[in-house]
Amino acid sequence: MYTLTLKKGEEKRIMHHPWVYANEVAKIEGKDKQGSIAKVVSWDGRFVGYGYINHLSKIIVRILTRDETPIDRTFFLNRIKQADEYRRSLGYKDNYRVVFGESDLLPALIADKYGDHLVVQFLSLGMDVRKEMITDILVELFNPACIYERSDVAVREKEGLPLTKGVLYGTLNRDLIIEENGIKLKIDVENGQKTGYFLDQKENRACIGAYVKNKTVLDCFCNQGGFSLNAAKYGAKEITAADISALALESVKENAALNGFKNISTVQADVFELLREYKKDRRSFDVIILDPPAFTKTTDTVKEGYKGYLDININALKLLNKGGTLITCSCSQHLTLPLFIQMLTEACLHSGTKAKLVEIRTQSRDHATLLGLDEALYLKVAVLKILP
């Protein structure tokens, strides 16, 4: 087993955070395979924790436990079982995030449940070398029809791992239909965003019921139409779903037909350009939803990402009718909540709009985050009410 001795004082941060960075380590003793369990101690020899090691990563160790406990199959089974029991205690039954990595004390492991299918991501070497064992545990606990891997995520390259996806167990149903908030949805776990769908917005999609009844709605960056479908369910008069992806819009149409919704129209366009075109054409809406992809994924792109968020929010505000509602999101961890609020304040100023902040929301409860792990608190959703 490897033993890593930290530099003086570094244990203070690591006692509240599961990542040990290579530059925090004073020395490494012992030898083992990469991905194996390593012991971490403070500069004066005090036990800090056990985690798996990868010399190729800047995060050299990801802490699994701070107790002197065996890290074996039973350890992982109990952790996954505890994570699932927490979700079930909140009322989740069919479609939810079962395991959320570090926040469930299982660093770099993601598991999502879509009906009788599980979709998993192994985002680090330490989890990847335990793939067979974890798959076996998931079969034991859930008896799924299929376990599908979506480890086609760029972060794996930082771990020296290839991007990969495919069936790990059972048979994939390419016509998989789930139910969310009483709405039927066809999910593409093989090619859809993330693990097939944005489960983290489930409760935020439900909350729009308070704002959309008898309203005209513009859903920007609509993807598979989650917000549009919920708007239709909650009584919106007319919904326009906009996205640059033709494949996403086909999914919107298919899901609308699946639910018998006939008041959703689709527009294939670059949303930045579309908002400007609508302004020129004097189009306006009662409710606008902005759920863009992350415009900033690293600390050195925050400035440019901020400009992107500011741009779409300014132009969306200009299209709202008096008394209208803006429901706007950011899924970038690097655009912090204070920055997000600052951007919205600036957008109101530049658009000549006065607004009240009605709600601030974050990711669904199945994506609860470990306090101190700011990296996991990524989703921000604000509801603004436009003043006359």
DSSP string computed for 278-338: HHHTT--EEEEEE-PPPS--SGGGHHHHHHHHHHHHHHHHHTEEEEEEEEEEE--TTS-HH
Distance CA 198, CA 187 (A): 10
Q: Which pairs with CB-CB distance under 8 Å and at least 24 residues apart come from 181-184?
A: 181/205, 181/206, 181/230, 181/233, 182/233, 183/229, 183/230, 183/233, 183/255, 183/259, 184/255, 184/258, 184/259
220, 222, 329, 331: which one is catalytic? 331
Owner of token pair 């995520």:
153
Q: What are phi and psi of 173, to 5 degrees?
A: -95, 105
- Per the annotation, the verdict on 146 as an active-site residue is no
Residue pair 53/47 in contact by the 8 Å Cβ criterion? no
Owner of token pair 């409760």:
203
- Which sequence positions are flagged as catalytic? 331
